[in-house]
Amino acid sequence: MPAPKAKTKARPKTFNYIFKQWIAPLFMITVGAVIAAFALEEFLVPFTILDGGVVGISMIISQLSGWPLGVLTIALNIPFMILGFKRLGIRFLVKAIYAMIIFSIFLGVFEDMKEVTNQEILVVVFGGVLLGVGVGLILRHGGCLDGTEIVAMLLSQKTEFSVGQIVLFFNIIIYGVAGLLFGPDRALYSLLTYFITSKIIDFVENGMEQGKSVMIITDHGKVIADKIYSQLGRTCTQMEGKGMVSNGKKTVLYCVITRVEVPAIKKIINDADVSAFVTITDVSEIVGNHIKRKKAPAAKKSPDRSGNAGNN
């Protein structure tokens, strides 16, 4: 008779796991929420320059009724929180609610403070930058401040648009209403602010891991590809080309790297072939694990250049 199988106990979550999954993200969400609240109350609200989404709607209602902005923000976000829970899970819901609570608390803290400047152009620029940094930090660490961000996050998974671009589409309608209520100049200032904010959100959310595509036309394709593989852990796709003037054969290499690896790949190319022609462009979307660094191989092997540029 076989011995009964011993019951396996679930491995307890280590402190390192808890720190990475909860402590560090919640700390960064706190920082982001405080920065966003400061940007609104010290730059935008005193000049009736609106944020977008649910926060923007809350600002409009607050301006017209005098109700507290923090309370309105939480109340209007409840339906979106339910949607976020159903689609994105309990972890997202906890982080989103936490971000909104911290945001609402610090809106009240900064409400009675004197605004930083009375120059509207400075308000637009610095208010937009700070708001983008705050919201970008929150999004990057799994939370959100605004119900439209939940919809944008869901839509961005199914479309080629970024979260910042989708949110901007929603905001155009809100700014149109603001223009009717507060004057076209407030709407235009608000729209300009959000152009700045959306770019900062995308940069902070993607961080330094934003993808860059590199195309190299060279006479030393194998040497450069081998160095890219050994130093950066990236494989290249090799294609054959022909110079229209020289009529000579050229090797065309294509690979995807991160922003921080751009100086390294430039050095590799310059050391190998000063006559190489190189283009480096932003990548709006990557499907697969192109830019995730892997450990260097144990043995030296020739990179696979059979046409799979993304097999990093």
CATH code, domain with 255:
3.30.70.120
Residue ending a domain, choose from 187, 207, 227: 207
Same domain for 178 and 194? yes
Residue 190, judged by CB atoms within 10 A of its CB (0-12, 13-18, 19+), counts as buried
Let me know whether 224 and 154 are in one domain.
no
Domain enclosing residue 43, as ranges: 15-207
pLDDT score at 289: 56
Are 155 and 236 in a shared domain? no
Residue-wise pLDDT tens digits, 104-126: 999 989 988 887 888 999 999 99
Say if residue 52 is in the same domain as residue 22: yes
- Asked whether residue 307 carries a pLDDT value surpassing 70, the answer given is no
Last residue of a domain, one of 154, 184, 207: 207
Q: Are residues 174 and 246 in the same domain?
A: no
Tell me, yes or no, whether 60 and 39 share the same domain.
Answer: yes
Q: Is the pLDDT of residue 304 over 70?
A: no
Q: What is the mean pLDDT of the chain?
A: 80
In a domain, 129, yes or no: yes
pLDDT at 296 over 60: no
Question: pTM for this structure?
Answer: 0.67
Given this model, what pLDDT does residue 125 score? 94
pLDDT at 209: 58
Look at residue 135 and tell me whether its pLDDT is greater than 80: yes
**pLDDT given for residue 128 in this prediction:** 93
**Same domain (yes/no): 203, 218:** no
Residues 201 and 271 in one domain: no
Kindly list the distances between the CA atom of residue 74 and the CA atoms of 71, 97, 101, 146, 284, in Å, as whole numbers in the listed order. 5, 9, 8, 9, 32
pLDDT, residue 233, reads 83
> Is residue 151 a part of any domain in this protein?
yes
Can you give the pLDDT at residue 301? Answer: 44
Do residues 62 and 138 share a domain? yes
pLDDT band at 312 (very low <50, low <70, confident <90, very high): very low
Specify whether 182 is located in the same domain as 241. no
The two structure tokens encoding residue 13? 């979550």
Q: How far apart are CA 307 and CA 309, in angstroms?
A: 6
Q: Could you tell me if 167 and 276 lie in one domain?
A: no
For the stretch 48-90, pLDDT in tens is: 998 888 888 999 999 888 888 888 988 888 888 877 776 667 8
Same domain, yes or no: 119 and 158: yes
> Does residue 307 belong to any structural domain of this protein?
no
Q: Report the distance separating Cα 46 and Cα 116, nearest Å.
A: 10
- The mean per-residue pLDDT over the stretch 143-168 comes to 74
Whether 233 maps to a domain, the answer reads: yes
Residue 299 included in any domain: no
CB 74 within 8 Å of CB 36: no
- Position 23 in a domain: yes
Number of domains in the chain: 2
pLDDT at 39 (0 to 100): 94
Q: Is the pLDDT of residue 292 over 60?
A: no
